Amino acid sequence: MNLLETPIEYLKGVGPQRGDLLRKELGIHKYADLLNLFPNRYIDRTRYYKINELQNSNSEVQIVGKIINIKTVEQGKGKSRLVATFVDDTGQMELVWFQGQKWIRESLKINIPYVIFGKVSQFGATYNMAHPEMELLEEHKASLRSAMQPVYPSTEKLGNKGISNKVINKMMQQLFVETQALFSENLPNYLLDELKLIPKNAALFNIHFPKSQDLLAKAQFRLKFEELFFIQLQLITKNLIRKHKIKGMPFEKVGENFNNFYKNHLPFDLTNAQKRVLKEIRNDLGSNAQMNRLLQGDVGSGKTIVALMCMLLTKDNGFQSCLMAPTEILANQHFNGITELAKELNINIKILTGSTKTAERKIIHEELENGSLDILIGTHALLEDKVQFHNLGLAIIDEQHRFGVEQRSKLWKKNDVPPHVLVMTATPIPRTLAMSLYGDLDISVIDELPPGRKPIQTVHRYDSNRLKVWKFLKDEIAKGRQVYIVYPLIQESEKMDYKDLMDGYESISRDFPLPQYSISIVHGKMKPADKDEEMRRFSEGKTNIMVATTVIEVGVNVPNASVMVIESAERFGLSQLHQLRGRVGRGAEQSYCILMTSHKLSSDSKIRMETMVRTNDGFEISEVDLKLRGPGDIMGKQQSGVLNLQIADLVKDKDILQLARHHAIKLLRDDAPMEKSEHAKLREAFIELSKKKTIWNYIS
């Protein structure tokens, strides 16, 4: 048995009680888990200070000296402190303890050299150190210690039960003694040479007991690379296996529907980005493997037309397609958009949502099964068991992060051969996250807007500028434009949201009175039919202003709306602000986004406002968002467990991630089964890792 598989309680100095705590608090079950508990930070103990060099800097220092006397000082109200006089050859200072005095007093030795370590404070002319770490000089010299002292992750409970950083450090030393620090190398020699990586043994030793700053940096680089390299190997292998195993239905021809639409009915010329993406998709559909592609494109970049052209290709090859969206509003928008685009073609398109009437449903089910329905657009309703296709060739999923993995797999099962899959998102995903979260999907990006679109001008205004902002809105409405005013939605306090919205609505109604102005209002408490009616009035131009909570974030397309006012903008995340801004700028007119905030802004809020004003580039915004919030938050609750990396950090280590992906692709191109002799150790480690049910195996 591999020694690293030994249960943690068998490590000398741990035992059943401590073992139980380590399991519950830090997830440490066996030796290997302790070995992979990497320090959060390090304290530099390369230097020994003299007492006459001390400064009142609140920094941690270590000093060699002796205790010459110990006394208890009463503090009144039955409290006392233990004070020891500590000297070296340059002066004297005091060591102070407020807790555990009896035990400490008994353990202290007089006139024997100690090494003390802790924070120094100054009272009058005297320096003192409270609750110092202490070690006899003789033991200090003998222990397996490094100049840089590791500080390990911990919890309050561990601290209360006496498992301090010092204790974890001792356990780590014991682990290295018992295993003799022999850890098997799992990367091939040529990779170690090419990237100048230090060996596994040296890396693990120097991450826990660094001999110098330089060796610590090399150890961190080596271990971060290894972690990210294995993740990339897993994801890319999964992609290769799927392409190999899951046979797709090759769409061999580009036929009448596609060509007719492309030559005669395109409402505008495709951008180069749209052409490039279509070519990537056509290559996938024409191969013998199942397509699994992520299509990213900012709001308004023209993903819908790409989706339609893929569906036309599907029909040309004798198959049906479906498009699933997370909300009825969005499904309706896709349906209206696609029906309008395809109105000159002879294609049967239907929509299925929760509000589809029973009679209509019956027709849809029949036409789906006999194959006469070409395209079905809908919400989660598409996943119902009753919905059976004649031959589903392509499934398109919009805003896929809103659907769970199980929901998506239901779609796959509606056909004997899994359909081709195109996942679309208007939420730009930072490159680092895309490479790690969707590393097993092929990725296409539409990174340019259709011609004639003017970039939206974004400004940040404080509440004190409101009169000027209202005047600007009146000028825009006078030009025949329409305006959104959006209030934040805070799930915890629906009452408060509703009140904010209603107060806002009342003051807007006073400032924009009837009959000169008319206002629509939309919020979560309204019946769906009332919501749709208000949306319809606004999109038909019957009202000038739409006052809403964030329900309009996705799905309203009103080209005549040219101003988006976001109230309390500091209460929104960056991606939400960017999505909301994307509701305007859909026509040829200059559009504006006005971020209203109070004067009190946190530093993060300031960065968010500055970023929105500076750029319209969704990818740049998503990178800033990733830095501010970290990967877990960006992916939402359902996927926040995805990125429990042990040492690497997706934000700080994106260069290492790119390097790891590059080398993983190179290795798998050369030797996908990892059968060459130089890959034997790598293959072994890879198989071990793949046995663990990591979340990586469930993504996409």
Question: What is the distance between the alpha carbons of residues 300 and 586, in angstroms, rounded to a whole number?
Answer: 7
Chunked into runs of 10 residues, the chain (700 residues) has average pLDDT values of: 88 94 94 93 83 80 95 89 96 93 92 93 88 91 73 88 91 93 91 96 93 87 95 87 80 92 91 95 90 85 92 96 88 90 94 93 95 95 91 88 64 81 83 71 84 88 95 96 86 63 90 93 82 86 89 66 94 88 85 95 94 90 83 48 71 85 93 93 89 49
Count of CB atoms within 10 A of residue 67's CB? 19
Question: What is the distance between the alpha carbons of residues 136 and 113, in angstroms, rounded to a whole number?
Answer: 6
pLDDT in the model for residue 473: 97
Give the HSE-up count for residue 128: Cα atoms under 13 Å, Cβ half-sphere. 15
The closest alpha carbon to 311, from 337, 277, 338, belongs to: 338
Question: What is the distance between the alpha carbons of residues 385 and 365, in angstroms, rounded to a whole number?
Answer: 11
pLDDT in the model for residue 699: 39
Instruction: Give the max Cα distance, the chain.
Output: 99
Nearest-5° Cα angle at 112, 106 to 114: 90
DSSP assignment of 382-400, as one string?
GGSTT---SSEEEEEEESG
Chain length of the chain: 700
Q: Is the dihedral of CA 292, 297, 300, 302 positive or negative?
A: negative
Task: Report DSSP state, residue 263.
Answer: I
Give the three-state DSSP class for 1. coil
Phi, psi of 588 (to 5 degrees): -85, -15
Cα–Cα distance list, 340 to 259, 275, 336, 350, 367 (Å): 18, 21, 6, 13, 21
pLDDT in the model for residue 695: 39
Residues whose CB falls within 8 Å of the CB of residue 466, separated by 6 or more in sequence, listed in order:
596
Q: Yes or no: say if 554 and 585 are a contact pair by the CB < 8 Å rule.
A: no
pLDDT in the model for residue 636: 47
Give the global pTM. 0.67
Q: Where would I find the H helices in 196-255?
A: 200-208, 213-245
Where does 278-339 show beta strands of DSSP type E?
A: 292-297, 320-324
Question: What is the distance between the alpha carbons of residues 608 and 441, in angstroms, rounded to a whole number?
Answer: 30
Residues whose CB falls within 8 Å of the CB of residue 325, separated by 6 or more in sequence, listed in order:
331, 334, 377, 378, 379, 398, 399
Q: Yes or no: say if 558 and 482 are a contact pair by the CB < 8 Å rule.
A: yes
Token code pair at residue 554: 């996705």
Give the three-state DSSP class for 436. helix
The owner of tokens 């006005």 is: 594
The closest alpha carbon to 85, from 66, 103, 104, belongs to: 66
Question: What is the distance between the alpha carbons of residues 535 and 328, in angstroms, rounded to a whole number?
Answer: 13
Task: Report DSSP state, residue 269.
Answer: P
Count of CB atoms within 10 A of residue 266's CB? 12
Question: What is the distance between the alpha carbons of residues 683 and 687, in angstroms, rounded to a whole number?
Answer: 6
| Own/partner pairs, 95-103, CB within 8 angstroms, 24+ separation | 95/67, 95/128, 95/129, 95/130, 95/132, 96/128, 96/129, 96/130, 96/131, 97/130, 97/131, 98/130, 98/131, 99/131, 101/72
Question: What is the distance between the alpha carbons of residues 436 and 655, in angstroms, rounded to a whole number?
Answer: 13
The owner of tokens 């150890």 is: 219
Question: What is the distance between the alpha carbons of residues 586 and 566, in angstroms, rounded to a whole number?
Answer: 18
Cα–Cα distance list, 475 to 544, 565, 573 (Å): 12, 14, 29
β-strands 292-297, 420-425 pairing = parallel
Question: What is the distance between the alpha carbons of residues 441 and 317, in angstroms, rounded to a whole number?
Answer: 24
| Residues linked to residue 320 through DSSP beta bridges, in sequence order | 392
pLDDT in the model for residue 21: 94
